[in-house]
Amino acid sequence: MQSLERPSQGIGSEAVGRPTEPPPDRLIAVAAGLEVEAEVHDGVLKEPPVLEIDRFNLWYGAKQALHRIAMPIPLNKVTALVGPSGCGKSTLLRSVNRLNDLVQSVRITGDMRLNGDSIYDPRMDVIELRKRMGMVFQKPNPFPMSIYENVVYALRIDGETSRGVLDEVCEMSLRGAALWDEVKDRLQDSALGLSGGQQQRLCIARAIAAEPEVLLLDEPCSALDPIATGKVEDLIQELRGRYSVLIVTHNMQQASRSSDYTAFMYLGRLIEYGATPDIFTKPVLRETEAYVTGRFG
Amino acid sequence: MNSKGPPRRARSGHANLTAHGEPWVWLTASSLALAIAMIVGLLSFIAWRGLATFWPVPLELVMLTDGRRLLGEVTEQEPVEPATAAAVGHPARRLIRTGDFDSSGNHYEWIDDPTITEIARPEWATVVERLDAGRLHGIPRRLLHGEQVVAEGAAEVWKAFGREHPGARGRLLRGLRIDKHERGELQRQLRAARLAVVQAGLDAGAGSERQAEAEQREQKLAGEIGRREQALDEETAKLRGENAGWAVEFETASGGSVPVPLDGIVRAWQPNRLSLAGNLGVYFSRWGEFLGDDPREANSAGGVFPAIWGTVTMTLIMALFVAPFGVLAALYLREYASRGPITTAVRVAINNLAGVPSIVYGAFGLGFFCYVVGAGIDDVFFKASLVADGQPTFGTGGLLWASLTLALLTLPVVIVATEEALSAVPNSMREGSYACGAGKWQTIRRIVLPRALPGIMTGLILAMARGAGEVAPLMLVGVKKLALELPVDGTFPFVHPEREFMHLAYLIYDVGFQSPNSQAARPMVFTITFLLVAIIALLNVAAIWLRSRLRRRFVSQHF
């Protein structure tokens, strides 16, 4: 008989409760509420950072979701955040552009710096801050307007009305998002008529239209079929070197294929962070190895 | 798979029935069927009665045992069972619209079937709709012009009538138009000048220079208006003179002879000779009058145009008020207000407002809008009218106050529907917009509102349907039994929000229950009801069309 119990990507604590193999000590320590030191490779620290996360803590009400996260995000590289569900990857990503401000019960300590500017400085205008970043969400969320207007949305809200500028940005962004050839003849059609994969690439075009300093991708392929996923991954490859990308993903292959650096998070802590080949082939911690090889999580 | 396992428990048929859910399908389906049957039944009853009103009915000459003769339409028949007949004390009977008010004093008469000796359908029997005194049924005998007999004999008279009547009727209508519009306009100018005198007195003191000037202007204007009125008088006198003396003499069933002035005849037809085309002609001509003319004879005849106009303008103005207020209030409640006990309390209060009896809104509208706000406006801007002839301008019921009252009444509907629509906008869209660096208001205006618009329109449709059918509050804040001056017309400034107006829903009540000739008015009630339902349906269809267009634009087919 075959066991029905396969390691599934369930809730983190559940994975600890029923491991197929004895869990590494560090993860037990984390689950017990102890603080553990993150293992950050030297290679990461040598890169010039675009974003520095500095001892960042975050609480939802009384529950702490992020514990003293400290990590630099390298400039013009793709950095992947991996870890089991509920480990705080998305929360961390949403903290970068302060989308968590919209949740009433959120409280934070610590800080992040975008090219040296404190993100959580009370004098920082959150709207100006978000204009310096682009974000793509799990589910494609095109706006209820034309493809054209979707792409130039960020410019529109800044009051840009010059047709020439808008047209140019629209084409550049759609080309950048590898969507131009598919939609160039129907720019005035509703964006809602596109397929899921096209919608997600449209969202990427929208995110890069305003030349962001950081591009935040929150599991951009989780709602897409394999073919659409492949296209978006190719796109991420093309963005490599031109944009600083911070991507949250569940998919180990995706992280290993498309990122330069990988950070492994667990229950709100950063566990190990280093160059992607190192993390996937010779991680320092055996906990990381256990996760990236699919033995738990 | 495994035959040696424990014996399977036999499952009962009852469990199966419940699991398949057959009874629930039947229960839910029959509820829907019942609802549809009631709606369709009501609507088709109203439509049938409403649409049949204007179809010509044959005139029957009924001869009775006591020698009396009646000429009329049979409007109702009561085949009474023999048993009940004995109890009630009369046999089978029929209701005849006699159209002989002049001699009998009745418009309708019940006739017991056994007293009828003979029924005939005289070819030349004519229905005459008169400007006043109701209908006349008779056979044309002579067409007179003064002492001179122009035509004699039914056929001749009918031919001559067809020749002379349109001209006479046209002259009458022209005269009426002069009286109503041109003379009315002169009176308005005169009143404005008179009020200017009073206003000058109020502003600068009685006997002041300004008042003297105003008085001079008024006298000058009065002289000019007098001359122009004289010209109008001459014109109308000429029109009347041309019509004078023309009369048609009809022979009624009772044998009497009734002369009717030619221009006093609105329309005449001979139902017993009409072909299908003739019937249709009369039918549509009566519909035309109904839709386009002013009411006559205590609203029981003629048209309902002022009421249609009043209903539509009031509903649209109401929508104009309620849409922005309701949407803005709901926006604050859903997008800006922080969730808490106060927000919840406000929401509950709004929902409760929807349950307040509408007459309470009427009372509030009268007490607040008319007597406080309106009186305040009068005091500041229209004092002259108040002083000169004690006539309030805004301090009494009117279109504006009625629209505002109904806007209040329908506000909860719009707020609740808008809130629902706003909460149905996916949060991912808002977040996407914020992530692009949009502010709250930019997000609301560019993303949330367009996406929620179809839902908001639904709320507005419901509000308009409710507002258009409301009667009770309107009776207090400006709807009148008769108001021929339209609230929106061609005289400057074109929209007169202070004017009282007519309303179809109120007309149903008035014609149906307040009319002196209720039997004759009853078909009108059905027609007006049909018209009101049709107008509301039309407004709704327009709004639904708009909504589906918006929906196609804004709502995804994917995901």
Residues of A in contact with B557 (CB under 8 A): 192-193
Q: Which pLDDT score is estimated for B90?
A: 67
How many Å apart are CA B190 and CA B213, to the nearest integer? 15
Positive or negative torsion for Cα B392, B394, B396, B397? positive
How many Å apart are CA A79 and CA A214, to the nearest integer? 11
Q: Which pLDDT score is estimated for B85?
A: 64
CA B514 to chain centre: 16
Q: Which pLDDT score is estimated for A94?
A: 92
Percent with pLDDT over 70 in chain B: 93
- Between chains, do A193 and B429 touch, taking CB under 8 Å as contact? no
Per-chain mean pLDDT for chain B: 86
Retrieve residue B213's tokens: 């000037």
Residues B377-394 have a mean pLDDT of 80
A189-198, B61-70, B382-391 — which is least confidently predicted? B382-391
Residues of A in contact with B429 (CB under 8 A): 141, 143-144
Residues of A in contact with B433 (CB under 8 A): 143, 153
How many Å apart are CA B269 and CA B284, to the nearest integer? 13
Q: Is B18 on the interface with A (CB under 8 A)?
A: no
CB neighbours (10 Å) of residue B531? 22
- Using one digit for the tens of pLDDT, what is the confidence trace for A217-241? 998 888 888 888 888 888 888 888 8
Q: Which pLDDT score is estimated for B483?
A: 79
Residues of B in contact with A148 (CB under 8 A): none
CA B385 to chain centre: 30
At residue B109 the predicted structure's pLDDT band, cuts being 50, 70 and 90, is confident
Q: Is A270 on the interface with B (CB under 8 A)?
A: no
Residue of A90, A106, A131, A153 to mutate, testing the B interface (most B Cβ within 10 Å of its Cβ):
A153
pLDDT > 60? residue B64: yes
pLDDT > 70? residue B14: no
B86-90, B196-200, B328-332, B506-510 — which is least confidently predicted? B86-90
Retrieve residue B180's tokens: 């109503």
Which residue type occupies B197?
Answer: V
Burial track A221-258 (b if 16+ CB lie within 10 A, e otherwise): bebbeeebbebbbebbeebeeebbbbbbbbbbebbbeb
Closest listed residue to residue A196, CA positions, set A214, A222, A159, A233: A222
How many Å lie between the alpha carbon of B169 and the closest alpha carbon of chain A?
Answer: 59
Q: What is the gyration radius of the CA atoms in chain A, in angstroms?
A: 20
Give A24-30 contacts, CB < 8 A, sequence gap 24+: A24/A285, A24/A286, A24/A287, A24/A290, A26/A271, A26/A285, A26/A287, A27/A266, A27/A267, A27/A271, A27/A287, A30/A266, A30/A267, A30/A269, A30/A271
How many Å lie between the alpha carbon of B442 and the closest alpha carbon of chain A?
Answer: 7
- Between chains, do A102 and B436 touch, taking CB under 8 Å as contact? no
Closest listed residue to residue B111, CA positions, set B92, B93, B85: B93
In sequence order, the 6+-apart residues with CB closer than 8 A to the CB of A90 are A218, A219, A248
> Is B354 strand, coil or helix?
coil
Q: Is B434 on the interface with A (CB under 8 A)?
A: yes
Closest listed residue to residue B421, CA positions, set B454, B386, B376, B388: B454
Residues of A in contact with B553 (CB under 8 A): 144, 190
Residue of A100, A127, A136 to mutate, testing the B interface (most B Cβ within 10 Å of its Cβ):
A127
Residue of A133, A143, A158, A206 to mutate, testing the B interface (most B Cβ within 10 Å of its Cβ):
A143
- Using one digit for the tens of pLDDT, what is the confidence trace for B529-544? 999 999 888 888 888 8
B504 membership: H or E segment, kind and range: helix B504-513
Q: B135 and B146 in contact (C-beta within 8 Å)?
A: no
Residues B430-442 have a mean pLDDT of 91
User: Among partner residues B338, B431, B556, which is closest to A137 by beta-carbon distance?
Assistant: B431
Q: Is A24 on the interface with B (CB under 8 A)?
A: no
Q: Which pLDDT score is estimated for B403?
A: 93
* Residue B254: DSSP 8-state: T
Residues A199-204 have a mean pLDDT of 92
- Between chains, do B555 and A134 touch, taking CB under 8 Å as contact? no
pLDDT > 80? residue B82: no
Q: Regarding predicted confidence, which is higher, B389 or B413? A: B413
Cis ω before B271 (30° cut-off from 0): no
Which residue is listed with tokens 């990503």? A93
* Residue A233: DSSP 8-state: H
Task: For chain A, give the number of residues.
Answer: 297
- What's the half-sphere exposure (Cβ side, CA atoms, 13 Å) at B469? 17
> Is B102 strand, coil or helix?
helix
- Between chains, do B436 and A153 touch, taking CB under 8 Å as contact? yes
Backbone angles phi, psi at B54, to 5 degrees: -95, 5
Residue of B422, B425, B434, B436 to mutate, testing the A interface (most A Cβ within 10 Å of its Cβ):
B436
Q: Is B429 on the interface with A (CB under 8 A)?
A: yes
Q: Which pLDDT score is estimated for B211?
A: 82
- Using one digit for the tens of pLDDT, what is the confidence trace for B328-372? 999 999 989 888 899 999 999 998 988 899 999 999 999 999 899
State the ipTM, two decimals. Answer: 0.85
How many Å apart are CA B215 and CA B223, to the nearest integer? 12
Backbone angles phi, psi at B37, to 5 degrees: -60, -40
For residue A132, with 0-12 CB atoms within 10 Å meaning exposed, 13-18 middle and 19 or more buried, which class applies? middle
- Between chains, do B428 and A131 touch, taking CB under 8 Å as contact? no
Residues A27-35 have a mean pLDDT of 78
Q: A79 and A262 in contact (C-beta within 8 Å)?
A: yes
In sequence order, the 6+-apart residues with CB closer than 8 A to the CB of B203 are B210
CA distances from A217 to A3, A77, A81 (A): 36, 13, 10
- Between chains, do A134 and B429 touch, taking CB under 8 Å as contact? no
Q: What is the CATH number of domain B305-555?
A: 1.10.3720.10
Q: Which pLDDT score is estimated for A152?
A: 93
Positive or negative torsion for Cα A129, A135, A141, A146? positive
